[in-house]
Amino acid sequence: PYTRVESKLWERIKYKNEKPSEITNYHTNGNKYKETLLSEYKGHSKNLSNQIKSLQETIFLISHPEHQIKEMLTVLFLDLTGFSKKSAEDQLSSINFTRFSAQALLESFPGDPHLGKYANTWGDAIVVGFEDPNSGIEFSLKLIEILKIKNIEARIGMSFGECALVFNPTLRKLAPEGPAMSDAARLEPLAKRGEVLISKELRAHDLNEDLFQFQKTKRELKKAVGDLKAKAEISCHIVTNKKNSK
């Protein structure tokens, strides 16, 4: 009879095409597999705990609509370029691939509670909030590259700041609101095709200089936004992967 750990290894062989020799190796190096499986269990358990916490927050806010939960978030706005010029069939295909890719990317790290939350979509736009700024930037750059596989071009604006989490009865989920959302939305149309622009507020945060490269720039508003007049210049930064910038 197999132990619980050995049974899990057989499942891996069946669904992940791993070699049966792993069962033999287990007997000589059992601790390695126990540690690996334990790490996976902890990751999924942590992810489940985060989902339960989010559900509890949602239930609380439904019962107390006057209450707000505030978090410091990195937020991104993504928009597909040239979308309106596509045929109806191509528009639907682009939207479906973009949403699928974004969701798959968000779910690719189940043990990382910082990767993404409060995701929302409308039309060809995607909005996501991140607890960890570096995770947000990593997600943005990876998604841009994934979309290029289908020749889909997107632009992204990102910012950082305090957001109030409120229950949106239309979406039936928590949604962030606040100046950081407006800043990211303002930067998004100023980005070029395939470009990620981040605000000076986000750049001032503790970002990973080993992974990302930042180039300071200024972009001109095409139309008035809030207190800013048309043609006003906004200071921001272009962010790229360091390995792709050499």
User: Which residues are bridge partners to 154 per DSSP?
Assistant: 80
Of 40 and 140, the structure prediction assigns the larger pLDDT to 140
Model confidence pLDDT, tens digit, residues 100-158:
999 888 877 655 555 666 777 777 888 888 888 999 999 999 999 999 999 999 999 99
Which pLDDT score is estimated for 151?
92
User: Which residues are bridge partners to 160 per DSSP?
Assistant: 74
- Cα–chain center distance at 78: 11
Helix then strand then coil, % of the chain, to nearest 5: 45, 30, 25
If you average pLDDT over every residue of the chain, what do you get? Answer: 77
Which pLDDT score is estimated for 43?
56
Q: What percent of the chain has pLDDT over 70?
A: 63
Q: Where are the alpha helices (DSSP H) in the chain?
A: 4-16, 21-28, 30-63, 88-106, 133-148, 179-187, 200-203, 242-245
Predicted confidence (pLDDT) at residue 9 exceeds the cutoff of 50: no
Nearest to 6 by CA among 33, 29, 28: 33
With 0.75 as the threshold, say if the pTM is over it: no
Q: Are β-strands 196-199 and 154-168 bridged in parallel, bridged antiparallel, or unpaired?
A: parallel
195 pLDDT band, cuts 50/70/90, is very high
